Structure 1
């Protein structure tokens, strides 16, 4: 690392790779959200069954992961005990915010400035939601619940990917997680949507639409495991704000949804929070590089001392011989 706190080539490469992971996830997440809207919206494809759509996604992901791991054996299987699997997944029963969950499970170190930054981002997004032209209280409640459970899911993925004694790649992660999601969706599906689907005799499964949509969901899930495994659940959650900006721009320019000044102000605050988060991450990398550089002379000195002691001992043995 040179003067002025510049970053080494290795750290710059790491940053670029991390941003590449983020970009891939944002693109796939954006694609799946827009595609799902097309399928669920009554004015478009008109198939308003979100639980059923998610179950189709998880069924496809489970089948494809099983095919790659157990049948074709293109991906090395992982030895995981039932106890470890249940221990990692059952912790997801505690729905709290991403940062708080990350701190609880020791995936993030608590820092007051980071918490304040997360509050700023949340506050900005909250203002943007309040300024929504078609504000719906029940929709906001559902969104808050979704945020809480998504936060927990992301941290649980991080726990599963870094559990002691196992190493999971995106495919094997999906191999274990997708069936669990499918089972969890079954009860609400039976209660809420199965009676409606049973009564809809005119529905015919469109393999092209649901197949391509499921493949996009499969790619997105792989990107989620890759991003969380290489960075953190918190980084992915912050990147989600950038995805929201893209969705707003798309909704305003293509779908012609109304964007209010309050929306723009709220996401402006969130933008400041994201910018500060990236700045903090960069400073942390610089500090880590400085520590490594400071430790190198000590390590070199210790190595030279050991060599000299070894040479002295060897000479002593020769003289005694």
Structure 2
């Protein structure tokens, strides 16, 4: 998050490659940006903690429940409308994740709780972003959003780290801090954000969502091939396939609904201002990379 803050500052203020969108006020920052940054920090913390207990592949399978959390919270906040079709899609995704979990050989419920907590935090973050973009009247592209959110998220991560994790690190005999590996991770995260933003601007949100499904399967299969603690079972694969089918149906439904809700909004305007869908896709990739 610090790296992202520095790079966004350099792009917008030093080299002035991209202009920061206007309209941000202190009141909007406190009421909207800080909650988004806090939920982003919570997503990263809980999501990364889950990897200490469960495999990368199983964590990816659990992330498939995200549309369910987003839909239910969106309905609670009045952003989504309940319908039989959406309830059916949510049921398919839920059943798929449950089947995939049943097929897990070595399941750690601590890791599952961490991952589910990260999913809820991520869903809240996306809800807050949609409220921010739709109801506050501020339109931001990805760089502008990261420019405001990253410093807040970094602070939200630093404070608990200082009191909860740093003492444990100091008490340990030795702990390794690989700066080059950390730099590469930060660089990959930022490049991923830019690549998703460019894909959306040069093609469409549909392309980004389709490639996102391919990415999810790649993560599951590659992690099974690379990491020794990942053992995929036939039930795992069947359950995840069911969940992904539900996710594809959800994405298809959302892409059909959004254009109807904004018939006057041109494609170029959506790219320049950053629609909630575009920001959701891009910042979702931030979490994945982190």
Compared with structure 1, are the counterparts of its residues 187 and 71 closer, same or farther at alpha carbon in structure 2 (3 Å cutoff)? same
Contact kept? 2:28, 2:136, Cα under 8 Å: no
Alignment-derived partner of residue 235 in structure 2: 262
Q: In 2, distance between residues paired with 1:124 and 1:241?
A: 15
Q: Distance in 1 between matches of 2:163 and 2:138?
A: 37
**Match of 1:153, SS?**
helix
Match of 2:11 in 1: 68
Give the secondary structure class of the aligned counterpart of 1:166.
coil
Contact preservation (8 Å) 2:70, 2:127: yes
- Quick one: distance in 1 between partners of 2:167 and 2:190? 27
Alpha-carbon separation, structure 2, partners of 1:72 and 1:201: 44
Q: 1:86 aligns with which of 17, 22, 30?
A: 30
Does the CA contact (< 8 Å) of 1:157 and 1:225 recur in 2? no
Seen in structure 2, the aligned counterparts of structure 1 residues 252 and 206 have a Cα distance that, compared at 3 Å, is closer
Aligned equivalent of 1:143: 115
Distance across 2 between alignment mates of 1:227 and 1:240? 11
Which consecutive residues of structure 2, in runs of 5 or more, have no partner in the other structure? 43-67, 265-290
1:48 alignment counterpart = none
Cα gap change, 1:243 to 1:115, in 2 (>3 Å): farther
Shift of 1:245: 2.5
1:59 positional shift = 0.8
Question: Aligned-residue CA RMSD in angstroms?
Answer: 3.7
Residues 182-220 of structure 1, C-alpha deviation per residue, up to 9 Å, x if partnerless?
Answer: 121123212322113334575564342111110112234
8 Å CA contact 2:69–2:119 kept in 1: the answer is yes
Over residues 235-261 of structure 1, what are the superposed CA-to-partner deviations in whole Å (9 max), with x where a residue is unaligned? Answer: 96x986654432221122333521112
- Do the aligned partners of 1:169 and 1:226 also contact (CA within 8 Å) in 2? no
SS of equivalent residue, structure 1 residue 194: helix
Q: Which moved more, 1:222-231 or 1:66-75?
A: 222-231
Question: Bigger radius of gyration, 1 or 2?
Answer: 1
Change (3 A) 1:284 1:73: closer
Relative to the length of structure 2, the TM-score reads 0.65
* Matching of residue 168 in structure 1 with residue 140 in structure 2: yes
Distance 1:221 1:194, change over 3 A: farther
What is the TM-score of this pair, normalised by structure 1? 0.59
Over 3 Å counting, the alpha-carbon distance change for 1:187 and 1:103 in structure 2 is same
Residue by residue, what CA displacement relative to the aligned partner does 1:119-175 show, whole Å, maximum 9, x if unpaired? 311221232123211201111111111110011112323333445442211111101
Q: How many residues align?
A: 229
Q: Does 1:159 align with 2:102?
A: no
Which 5+ residue runs of structure 1 have no aligned equivalent?
1-57, 293-321
- From 170, 174, 186, the counterpart of 1:198: 170
- Write out per-residue CA displacement over residues 282-315 of structure 1, whole angstroms, 9 at most, x where no aligned residue: 7658x95xx99xxxxxxxxxxxxxxxxxxxxxxx
Secondary structure class of the residue paired with 2:20 = coil
Distance 1:282 1:73 in 2: 33
Aligned equivalents of 1:283, 1:62: Cα separation in 2: 34
